Amino acid sequence: MAEDTQPTYEVLALRFGTHAGRPARDNFLFDEGQFPPGTDMPMDFYLWVIRNDRHLLLVDTGFPEEMALRRGRTLFRCPVDALADLGITADDVSDIVITHMHYDHAGNLDRFPAARIHLQEAELRFCAGPAMRHRAVRKPFEAVNVRTAIQGLFEERLVLHQGEAELIPGVTVHPVPGHTPGTQVVRVRTARGWVVLAGDATHLWDNIRLRSPFPILDHLASMMDGYDTIEALADGDDHIIPGHDPRVAQRFPRLAGAPDWVRLHEPALDGTPVAAASGAVR
């Protein structure tokens, strides 16, 4: 009964960039023969807005042009500037969830100098700790983002969560380690049920559906456990929103007047849960 009185939210995704010309093989730890050699499988970049008439939450901050150029990624538009499509300025954002500290998720943190930042404590320990002495481990991190998070710590606006937490009624964060030690997902109550913004706990629908993890990872067994956690938190296969799947922007309805944004709080346009491996360009 109580659940019926819970508020629901709009959940909007912005596809702001892509990494095209990427072999499918690069998106999976093991070659299990699921993709013929020469198969391309691009990865897109997203950030997300959760809002209703009382609350506004930004999930991740994308990355700036300078990082895109340096890392060979294509930025369609600045994701922070694109918030204007929704009538939002950076100053309007009081709370940001950072799913994890990789450059493509925390890259514009310095554009929000007054916002509260919600991060798992384990993630801060990792990205500000001794593991960063390894080039292969720190590759997806940028020191500027770690410094910005620590600046927020000193300004008492970095909120370090130790596990699950309710941020606003009907929106919770849940630790799903594996990709990084402090990766968290966001569960949101919507009109179509519980939606999970999985971030990089699953990059693509194929990673979770095939139980075939993305190769950048901290702990394989935790990653596999995380797939079960995500499925338990979501109300269906299409309620799981992967962090980088091009099909997210293709399968959900566009926002009127702002077609770069799609509405994840509504059912997918094709109505049937995505089939595993259907995203490959053969």
What residues line the site for Zn ion (CB under 5 A)?
Answer: 104, 200
Q: How far apart are CA 139 and CA 103, in angstroms?
A: 9
Cβ proximity to Zn ion: between 27 and 52 the closer is 27
Q: HSE (CB half, 13 Å, CA atoms) of 89?
A: 3
Which residue lies nearer to Zn ion by CB, 52 or 180? 180
**Least CB distance to Zn ion at residue 240 (A):** 16
* Closer of 104 and 123 to Zn ion (Cβ): 104
Question: Considering the complex, what minimum distance in angstroms separates the CB of residue 73 from Zn ion?
Answer: 11
| In the complex, least distance from residue 105 CB atom to Zn ion, rounded to whole angstroms | 5
Q: How many C-beta atoms surround the C-beta of residue 221 within 10 A?
A: 8
CB of 101 to Zn ion, least distance (A): 10
Shortest distance in whole angstroms from residue 37 CB to Zn ion: 25
CB of 140 to Zn ion, least distance (A): 7
Q: Which is nearer to Zn ion, 95 or 104 (CB)?
A: 104
For the chain, state the CA radius of gyration.
18
Spatial separation of the C-alpha atoms in residues 195 and 209, rounded to whole Å: 16
Q: What angle do CA 14, 19, 24 make, to 5 degrees?
A: 115
Nearest residue (CB) to Zn ion, 189 versus 244: 244
Q: What is the largest CA-CA distance in the chain?
A: 53
Residue 130 CA to chain centroid, in angstroms? 25
| Nearer to Zn ion among residue 152 and residue 243 (C-beta) | 243
| Smallest separation (angstroms) from Zn ion to the CB of 143 | 18
H-state helical runs in 158-270: 205-209, 220-233, 246-251
Q: Which is nearer to Zn ion, 44 or 104 (CB)?
A: 104
Angle, alpha carbons 86-92-94 (nearest 5°) = 125
DSSP string for residues in 3-68: GGGS---EEEEEEEEEE-S-BGGGG-SS--S-S-TT-B--EEEEEEEEE-SS-EEEE-----HHHH
Q: How far is the C-alpha of 211 from the C-alpha of 243, rounded, in Å?
A: 16
